[in-house]
Chain A
Amino acid sequence: MHSTTSEPPSPATVVGTPTAPLPDSASQALKIAVVGGFGVGKTTMVRSVSEIRPLTTEETMTRAGAEIDDLRGVEGKNTTTVAFDFGRITLDSTSVLYLFGAPGQQRFWFLWDRLFTGALGAVVLVDTRRLEDCFYAIDRLEAQGTPFVVAHNDFGEADHALEDVRSALDLDPSVPLMRCDARERGSAKDVLIRLAEHVRTLVREGRR
């Protein structure tokens, strides 16, 4: 089976035993997607803030843009199986936030339509060695009106001026851009806070 994994798989979890049960009163689940190219640190960021060890699951697609019409066809040439990782943060007794690490390239974008519709927003994680990996994601997020911030994962070593990154990405001045170290819980948390604040600003401005 053709399979594409965006990052090295997480260690296997014990099947059938959720490690940290959600409160019985949990009723509302929210989601944020962390998108970026291969190896940019998406799973690392999810792991840094998640209360559970990130889980991996898969979605299958027979053809770009088409519904799966026959699961017997999953071995066919036109099938893409995409693995994605996710973690979660319990917000309070009723709400839980899921964080998804998702490949941002065009061929994986069906995941967005299937799984990430309704996300509060997205973090686009970039690596200056492969900035082009996130061009498509930025275009799509802008086109679909999903709020996003861009975080340059420099693993603690500032190698580029942020303004150079903004210019290389041709990023709108209103889109927050920041450095982060995806391995650091505090840094990953700050990125998520910036995203939530950015969405709040957009709401206050009455922008779509």
Chain B
Amino acid sequence: MNPSYRQEGPDRLYVITSGRSGGADDALDAVTLVVAESEPTAGMQSEHARILRLCVSPLSVVEIAAHLRLPVTVVRILLTDLIDTGRVTARHPAPAPSPARPLASPDVLEKVLVALHNL
């Protein structure tokens, strides 16, 4: 079990991201679902390998962050590496509400209401 990055200090984050602080895929939302497309390989950065093992089933960006105990910002950078090399796929369905169109679609709302009533 990896300890939290807090116990290793912030330099650890710098190492994990190879010094990068930006460059994450802007389309990666906090709840974008990510699925692994390949198995971890020998020599792969351990955080990348852990993401591949976590995402055997779809998992959101924030869940990955929670399981890795890394800030969301760092996880988005790591995920972008994996997307760029085709090792994971990010599922981007219908657009979410945005500042320009802040209301969800009626279909989505019905789905939410049905599921909540059945809780």
Contacts and interface: CB of A to CB of B under 8 A. Distances in A.
Contacts of A90: 115
Interface residues of B, number: 61
Interface of B: 1-2, 6, 9-11, 13-14, 17, 19, 21-22, 29-33, 35, 50, 53-54, 56-60, 62-63, 65-69, 71-74, 91, 93-94, 96-99, 101-106, 108-117, 119
Q: What secondary structure prevails in chain A residues at the interface with B?
A: mixed
B109 A203 contact: yes
Given A29-B31, A71-B13, A118 B115 contact: no
A167 interface: no
Contacts of A161: none
B21 A68 contact: yes
Contact of B63 (A18, A75, A95, A197): A18
A interface residue count range (under 10 / 10 to 19 / 20 to 34 / 35 or more): 35 or more
B31 A98 contact: yes
B103 A203 contact: yes
B70 to A, nearest CB: 8
Q: Which residue, of B6, B33, B73, B102, has the highest number of chain A Cβ atoms within 10 A?
A: B102
